[in-house]
């Protein structure tokens, strides 16, 4: 308590006029060698907060007298630094991984019922209800669940995951036996970019017949069709892959007639998604940088914030791509389903089944026929399911973010309290608040 006693005497003598302002500064600056060493160490800690990895350990052994002798601004800087060190890096690492997995599960699993609804609406060319908004789909969903159970919208989910894994495996195999690269970024040279596009085109061409077989599984009615096995998608996809000629009297298009539209649609959609994702990611990172630069904002490990920005950028890119390419997807799905004698649920009522009977000659003929018989809105049949899909996706991300914030707040409350009230040289000794508890400990 000798520091407090000296401080009181100095304040009392200053009030009596024994020292002018300059003399008071000289007296305040007069310290023992030990005190000067402490002051130098404190200054080094403040000036090198990001460089000194042992700053936290040193700050913990400051005495109460040393803490009170620091200026008010330095107290706040030290507190900000201590707040940054409270975040558990291991916990934040698990939170980042958890948010990433939640996004993947939502994108590839929880979105499947809405994809089933969308595809059933797209391929039914004779439907009276276009389901352009979500409200029109709700009665049909209720009727389907009553008649066929909760699993009616989850048909083909196993095959969907298998085809997705097959696509990744084909990309990997082609990249190993060619000069193409599976991944690219904004710094990729044009030559490697061209090789990457060629790799994607080959992959889409090989997987196109399996996507056609997968489409049949996801749209066929569960009560009017045989239940498909887990690996039936590979058998049906292989048959369509080697089906290069049209059967006499049959309406199924050969593989060569489907691969061209599939590759054109797939690579254009992929490149457009890359562009939108890059622009969205730059905007999100810029906004995050401006938010982190605000005074009083923590500047510790921001991996979780970067992960959230990347998830939202991906969501924006996916939503924009789906909206723009929805009409082309409708035409492609109708061509893939033609001639398969598939029976689907009638989503006009949700209480009946109907066969798909079409006779398109190609992509252009399908487009013209759809515009003539169904109008331009016929290309957007089932768009209400897309709205439901992304509304559910955003809700899951918001819930995950809220959960992460609650976990972070709970772990922050368990940290040891510190001195949060400060005093400056202008305050009297009687106005110095007594800390209730402090992590800055020292001898009495």
261-265 average pLDDT score: 94
| Greater pLDDT, 148 or 430 | 148
pLDDT at residue number 88: 56
Distance of CA 273 to the CA centre of its chain: 15
pLDDT at residue number 245: 63
Task: Give 375: exposed, middle or buried? Use CB within 10 Å, 0-12, 13-18, 19+.
Answer: exposed
pLDDT at residue number 212: 92
Domain with CATH 1.50.40 in the chain: 111-407
Percent of the chain exceeding pLDDT 70 equals: 66
Instruction: With a cut of 80, say whether residue 75 has pLDDT above it.
Output: no
Q: What is the pLDDT of residues 212-226, one digit of tens each?
A: 999 999 999 888 777
Q: What is the pLDDT of residues 76-104, one digit of tens each?
A: 544 554 454 445 566 667 777 777 788 78
pLDDT at residue number 18: 43
String of DSSP letters for 221-252:
-TTTSPPPPTTHHHHHHHHHHT--SPPTT--P
3-state secondary structure of 100: helix
Reported as a pLDDT band with limits 50, 70 and 90, residue 323 is very high
**CA-to-CA distance for 6 and 28, rounded, in angstroms?**
10
pLDDT at residue number 379: 94
Against a cut of 0.75, is the pTM above it?
Answer: no
pLDDT at residue number 46: 54
pLDDT at residue number 391: 92
Instruction: With a cut of 90, say whether residue 268 has pLDDT above it.
Output: yes
- The CATH T-level fold of domain 111-407 is Mitochondrial carrier fold (1.50.40)
Instruction: With a cut of 60, say whether residue 5 has pLDDT above it.
Output: no
Q: What is the pLDDT of residues 94-148, one digit of tens each?
A: 777 777 788 788 888 889 999 999 999 999 998 989 999 888 888 889 988 888 8
Reported as a pLDDT band with limits 50, 70 and 90, residue 428 is very low
**CA-to-CA distance for 398 and 404, rounded, in angstroms?**
10
pLDDT at residue number 306: 76
Contact (CB, 8 A) for 160 and 114 = no
**CA-to-CA distance for 369 and 380, rounded, in angstroms?**
14
Catalogue the long-range contacts made by 185-189 (C-beta closer than 8 Å, 24 or more residues apart).
Answer: 186/278
Instruction: With a cut of 70, say whether residue 26 has pLDDT above it.
Output: no
Q: What is the pLDDT of residues 325-374, one digit of tens each?
A: 999 999 999 999 998 889 999 998 888 899 998 989 889 999 999 999 99
């Amino acid at each position: 308590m000798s520091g407090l006693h000296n401080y009181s005497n100095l304040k009392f003598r200053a009030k009596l006029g024994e020292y002018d302002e300059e003399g008071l500064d000289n007296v305040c600056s007069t310290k023992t060698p030990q005190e000067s060493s402490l002051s130098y160490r404190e200054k080094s800690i403040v000036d090198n907060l990001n460089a000194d990895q042992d700053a936290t350990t040193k700050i913990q052994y400051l005495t109460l007298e040393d803490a009170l002798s620091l200026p008010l601004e330095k107290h706040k800087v030290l507190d900000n630094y201590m707040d940054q060190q409270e975040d558990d890096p291991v916990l934040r690492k698990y939170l980042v991984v958890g948010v990433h997995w939640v996004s993947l599960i939502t994108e590839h699993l929880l979105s499947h019922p809405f994809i089933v609804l969308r595809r059933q609406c797209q391929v039914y060319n004779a439907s009276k209800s276009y389901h352009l908004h979500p409200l029109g789909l709700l009665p049909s969903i209720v009727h389907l669940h009553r008649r066929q159970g909760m699993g009616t919208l989850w048909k083909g989910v196993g095959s969907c995951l298998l085809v997705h894994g097959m696509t990744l495996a084909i990309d990997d195999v082609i990249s190993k036996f060619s000069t193409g690269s599976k991944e690219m970024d904004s710094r990729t040279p044009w030559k490697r970019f061209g090789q990457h596009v060629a790799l994607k085109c080959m992959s889409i061409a090989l997987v196109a017949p399996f996507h056609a077989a997968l489409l049949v599984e996801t749209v066929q009615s569960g009560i009017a069709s045989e239940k498909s096995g887990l690996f039936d998608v590979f058998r049906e996809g292989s048959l369509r892959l080697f089906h290069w000629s049209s059967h006499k009297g049959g309406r199924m298009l050969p593989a060569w007639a489907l691969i061209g539209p599939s590759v054109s649609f797939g690579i254009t959609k992929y490149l457009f998604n890359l562009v939108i994702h890059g622009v969205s990611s730059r905007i999100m990172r810029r906004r995050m940088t401006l938010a982190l630069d605000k005074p009083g904002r923590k500047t510790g490990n921001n991996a979780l914030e970067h992960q959230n920005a990347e998830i939202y950028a991906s969501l924006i890119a996916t939503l924009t791509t789906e909206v723009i390419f929805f009409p082309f997807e409708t035409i492609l799905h109708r061509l893939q389903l033609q001639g398969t004698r598939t029976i689907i649920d009638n989503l006009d009522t949700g209480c009946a089944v109907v066969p798909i009977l079409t006779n398109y000659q190609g992509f252009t003929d399908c487009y013209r026929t759809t515009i003539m018989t169904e109008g331009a809105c016929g290309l957007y049949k089932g768009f209400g399911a897309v709205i439901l899909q992304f509304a559910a996706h955003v809700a899951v991300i918001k819930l995950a973010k809220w959960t992460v914030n609650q976990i972070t707040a709970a772990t922050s409350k368990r940290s040891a309290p510190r001195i949060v009230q400060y005093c400056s040289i202008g305050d009297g000794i009687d106005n110095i608040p007594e800390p209730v508890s402090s992590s800055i400990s020292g001898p009495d």
